Amino acid sequence: MIKLYELKGTGARYYSLFSWRTRMALAHKGLAFESCPVLMSDKPAIAFSGGKTVPVIRDGETVVRDSWKIAEYLEAAYPQGPSLFGGPIGQGLCHTFNVWADRTLVPAVMPIIVADVFERIDPADREFFRGMMEGFLKCRLEDTVAGRDKAIERLGRTLDPLRAVIKRQPFVCGPAPAYADYIVFSVFQWARVGSPAALLGADDPLAAWRERILDLHAGFARNVAVA
């Protein structure tokens, strides 16, 4: 069975957005896996991967680190399962989308939820998490709460192009979900697991899309501990 090394939160929370990309890719391919939670600060636990971050998968003798590289590996190693990309052109477009999400969508969501996520990670990781996130945000975690409403407004503008897409088709990838959907969904699942903050209104087309993703694979992503 594939082993997935991912971040350890409180109450069996799988709070890593990058882990959720891998989790959804494995579910999409119909591949069983064993979760191996590790602390963010415990770099020796994943030293075998040659890196310092998760997710990491071990598939037999093969070790792959980084959610994008894992998706590429799963697509190549398990062609019998549903495609994550729909071919080489789709894979290239998806890679572009992956970079956009990491550099635009993730930074837009982070200040909204980061103070809440801090309360839901393993206590042994809190000092490490605080130092890393405050270095990124250039402010104390507690200071992000006061600016949450404005951050939600900015996120809304960031999401407008995706709303326009979802008004015309049920999934980011068209009539059926694939890896680009999971890239976006991973950010919303990160928020859902780590924070009670409402990122989307009830009548937002993206809220209905998120519900469709939560229903996939027998409710795989729905049936987890959330904030």
Q: What is the pLDDT, as a whole number, of residue 124? A: 95
Convert the pLDDT of each residue in 6-61 to its tens digit.
999 998 889 999 999 999 999 999 999 999 999 999 999 999 999 999 999 999 99
CA torsion, ordered 176, 208, 106, 163, to nearest 10 deg = 80
Please give the Cα distance from 207 to 209 (Å, whole number). 5
Convert the pLDDT of each residue in 74-118 to its tens digit.
999 999 999 999 999 999 999 999 999 999 999 999 999 999 999
DSSP H helices in 9-87: 17-29, 67-77
Q: What is the pLDDT, as a whole number, of residue 26? A: 98
Q: What is the pLDDT, as a whole number, of residue 186? A: 98
Q: Supply the pTM of this predicted model.
A: 0.96
Please give the Cα distance from 71 to 81 (Å, whole number). 12
What tokens were used for 192?
Answer: 């859902």
Q: What is the pLDDT, as a whole number, of residue 131? A: 96
Cβ 56 vs Cβ 2: under 8 Å = no
CA 109 to chain CA centroid, nearest Å: 12
Whether residue 214 is predicted with pLDDT greater than 90 in this model: the reply is yes
Domains of the chain plus CATH, in order, are 2-77 (3.40.30.10), 88-219 (1.20.1050.10)
Q: Which residues contact 22 (CB under 8 A, 6 or more apart)?
A: 4, 6, 55, 57, 67, 70, 71
How many CA atoms are closer than 13 Å to the CA of 107, on its beta-carbon side?
Answer: 8
Q: Name 35's bridge partners.
A: 4
Whether residue 227 is predicted with pLDDT greater than 80 in this model: the reply is no
Q: What is the pLDDT, as a whole number, of residue 11? A: 84
- With a pLDDT cut of 90, the percent of the chain lying above it is 97
Mean pLDDT of the chain: 96
